[in-house]
Amino acid sequence: MTRLQGLERKRRRLPQGAVVVRASVIAGLALGPVAASAQEAIDLSKWSPEYVRSIAGTATFDTAAECAKVVPLDYSGRVSIWYTGPAEADPEISHRVDREFWEAFQATYPNITVEAQNIVYNELLDKLRTALLGNAGPMVVRLQILGGVEFGAKGYMEELAPEDVGYSTADFWPGAMKSVTYDGKTYGVPTNNETMAFIYNAKIFEEAGLDPEQPPATWDDVVAYSKTIKDKLGIAGYGLVAKQNAGNTPFRFMPQIWAFGGAALDENSDNPTYDTVGLDSEGAKAALQSAYDMYVRDQSVPVSALTNTQAENQAPFISGQLAMMIAHPSEYAKMVDLASQATGADKAVADEVVANMRYGLIPEGPDRRAVVFGGSNIHIVKDEYVDGGLDKEAAKALICFWTSPEWSTKLSWVSSNPGNLKGFQTEWMKERLDTIRFLDVTTSMLPNGIPFPVVPEAPEIMNIIVPDMLQNALTGKMSVDEAAETAAQQVQALMNGM
């Protein structure tokens, strides 16, 4: 029995919408280790799957004791939070850990009442914008990595650094800290860091005459493999995602743009200034051409790619009708869940897909191998924009708990990496590496991560302009060159405040 399974007990389920968590439902919950051991500093220059495995399980942490240094455990107050938690499509373990987090926090801070809303990823930013305009926001909000700077730049967020909640800036990835820093000020603390990997079905590769144990090495290979699979087997090769106003799209297309040497601004440079536009570069056009070749010329990707998020790729993949896609380590757990729900002939197919599921590094391009340095950050909203006013101490207690080595690891169980680097030293990271297939592949992509531009305009660039560029080219509304150049003009106008 794992530690997480061992925490299972009779509990109150948190619904998808607003919830109130109280101590009476979790009295007596075990909180994990109470001793803390000395830890060696993590050396990011050594980062590799082998290094990550070597440090996992080498240290223990006492979350309650650490957070007590920030906010006394007998503090009485109230905290409200909006975040994107587990969705219906997520594996059960994600729902379980989410429940356990709220129970553990309430057991540690029994006098703080929590009002939590789990809001769908693609709705959170718009809902927060509307709420802040009406001074009806939450005290705390956990946002996708590109969301916080927008609100910080507009004056909605409190300045907040790791040191404010008991940690050191050095406890977090430099790229992650970059994502919460604007105009020299820090507006949040990273909760988790995402890097995805390339997933494929080895059996489909073999049936199409491809090496079943070798993922495509380059993006040109992806185009070629996708066509081969469609031509020989009549099924979709690559799970292209091109939906408008959906975060899934830039998370899967920007690595392709960066690989070819393009960019939205200059976020792919070592020292970006964000004062140049890169969507009309030759590299960006080459990446867009690759997508066009798969969707229009070869017709080797789902015709529904224009309206698909990654969730729509799951059904064809588990049914053996899709060969390749980009996703998180959680995709394996999701496929296991889907296979367990299948029956009859579908069950046999699904089990075979799970057995033949493989992970590899995201392919290289002429310029580099790249992946979005994603994840989420947690922020405090200024008092005047909070419904009922801000209880800053309660907010800091919650953020300390969430960004601890323990919970930044557990809450990322199948989907991500702990935001707090010390999470990689915990017993839970060791358990994850031992029990989650392919986790080390996605973790090894972290040094290839590139954050989205750290500018307030990033959400509109990534969620609107980049998907629109794809749509314009794939639908034939514009040529590849015209779509890229139009997108670059839109970015320039946006950055100029027009």
The number of domains in the chain is 2
Q: Could you tell me if 381 and 366 lie in one domain?
A: no
CATH of the domain at 461: 3.40.190.10
Whether the per-residue pLDDT at 312 is higher than 80: the answer is yes
Domain that holds residue 70: 3-195+374-450
Out of 450, 468, 486, pick the residue that ends a domain: 450
Average pLDDT, the chain: 90
Identify the domain boundary among 415, 433, 450.
Answer: 450
212 and 266, same structural domain?
Answer: yes
371 forms beta bridges with 449
Residue 401 and residue 386 share a domain = yes
Same domain, 393 and 341: no
Please state whether beta strands 357-360 and 197-201 pair in parallel, antiparallel, or not at all (unpaired).
Answer: antiparallel
Percentage of the chain modeled with pLDDT above 70:
92
Q: Do 93 and 209 lie in a common domain?
A: no
Do you know the residue count of the chain? Answer: 498
Per-residue pLDDT for 377 more than 80?
Answer: yes
Identify the band that residue 23 occupies on the pLDDT scale cut at 50, 70 and 90.
Answer: very low
Q: Examine the domain organization and report whether 246 and 353 are in the same domain.
A: yes
The pLDDT assigned to 36 comes to 42
Question: Mean per-residue pLDDT for 312-317?
Answer: 95
DSSP 387-440: TT---HHHHHHHHHHHTSHHHHHHTTTTT-EESBGGGGGSHHHHHHHHHSTTHH
Q: How far apart are CA 413 and CA 417, in angstroms?
A: 8
CB 33 within 8 A of CB 413: no
How buried is 28 (Cβ within 10 angstroms: 0-12 exposed, 13-18 middle, 19+ buried)? exposed
Q: Which pair of tokens denotes residue 9?
A: 């007990």
149 has a pLDDT exceeding 50 = yes
**Which pLDDT score is estimated for 495?**
96
Closest CA to 256 of 358, 146, 369: 369
Asked whether the predicted pLDDT for residue 484 surpasses 50, the reply is: yes
Do residues 125 and 174 both lie within one domain? yes
Residue-wise pLDDT tens digits, 61-120: 999 999 999 999 999 999 999 999 998 878 888 999 999 999 999 999 999 999 999 999
Q: Which residues contact 174 (CB under 8 A, 6 or more apart)?
A: none
Residue 381: per-residue pLDDT: 98
Q: pLDDT tens, 25-34?
A: 323 333 344 3
pLDDT attached to residue 182: 86
Q: pLDDT category, 39, cuts 50, 70, 90?
A: low
Same domain? 50 vs 103: yes
Q: Both tokens of residue 257?
A: 């743009």
Written as one string, the DSSP assignment of 115-170 is EEEE--HHHHHHHHHHHHHTT-B-SEEEEETTTHHHHHHTT-B--B-GGGGT--GG
Question: Over the stretch 320-375, which tens digit does the pLDDT of each residue have?
Answer: 999 999 998 778 888 998 999 999 999 999 999 999 999 999 999 999 999 998 88
Residues 85, 138 share a domain: yes
Residue pLDDT, tens place only, 255-305 = 999 999 999 999 999 888 899 999 999 999 999 999 999 999 999 999 999
Residues 6+ apart with CB under 8 A from 477: 471, 483
Q: pTM of the entire structure?
A: 0.76
Q: How far apart are CA 106 and CA 123, in angstroms?
A: 27
Report the alpha-carbon distance of residue 216 to residue 237 in Å, rounded. Answer: 12
Identify whether residues 381 and 358 lie together within a single domain: no
Task: Give the orientation angle of helix 330-341 with respect to helix 344-355, to 10 degrees.
Answer: 160
The whole-angstrom distance between residue 374's C-alpha and the CA centroid of its chain comes to: 5
pLDDT score at 21:
38
- Could you read off the pLDDT of 169-181 as tens digits, one per residue? 999 998 899 889 8
Query: Are residues 272 and 242 located together in one domain of the fold?
Result: yes
Q: Flag whether pLDDT at 13 surpasses 70.
A: no
Q: Residue for token digits 């954050």?
A: 451
220 and 125 both lie in a single domain: no
